[in-house]
Amino acid sequence: MKDLAIYPGTFDPLTLGHVDIIKRAARLFGRIIIAISAKPRKTTLFTAPERLAMAKSLCAQIPKVEADVFDGLLVDYIRAKGAHVIIRGLRAFSDFEYEFQMALTNRQMAPDIETLFMMTKESYSFLNSSMVREVAALGGDTAKFVPDFVQKELNKKTGIRSQKSGVRIQN
Ligand code: COA
Predicted local confidence at residue 28, as pLDDT: 96
Pocket of ligand 1 (CB under 6 A): 8-12, 15, 17-18, 21, 37, 40, 73-74, 89, 91, 102, 105-106, 120, 124, 127-130
**Which CATH number fits the domain that encloses residue 14?**
3.40.50.620
Q: Which residue segment(s) compose the domain that 48 sits in? A: 4-158
Q: How many other C-beta atoms lie within 10 A of the C-beta of residue 31?
A: 16
Which pTM value belongs to this model? 0.91
Cβ contact 34:67 at 8 Å = yes
Domain for residue 170, yes or no?
no
The per-residue pLDDT for range 109-155, each reduced to its tens digit, is 999 999 999 999 999 999 999 999 999 999 999 999 999 999 999 99
Domain for residue 171, yes or no?
no
Whether residue 164 has pLDDT greater than 60: no
Distance CA 114, CA 5 (A): 10
Express as a percent the part of the chain with pLDDT over 70: 92
Domain for residue 25, yes or no?
yes
Domain for residue 166, yes or no?
no
The answer to whether 129 is a known catalytic residue is yes
Q: How many other C-beta atoms lie within 10 A of the C-beta of residue 120?
A: 21
Cβ contact 48:68 at 8 Å = no
Question: How many domains would you assign to the chain?
Answer: 1
Q: Which of 37, 51, 91, 121 is catalytic?
A: 91
Domain for residue 165, yes or no?
no
For residues 82-93, give the mean pLDDT: 93
Q: Residue 9 C-alpha to ligand 1 middle, in angstroms?
A: 4
Domain for residue 54, yes or no?
yes
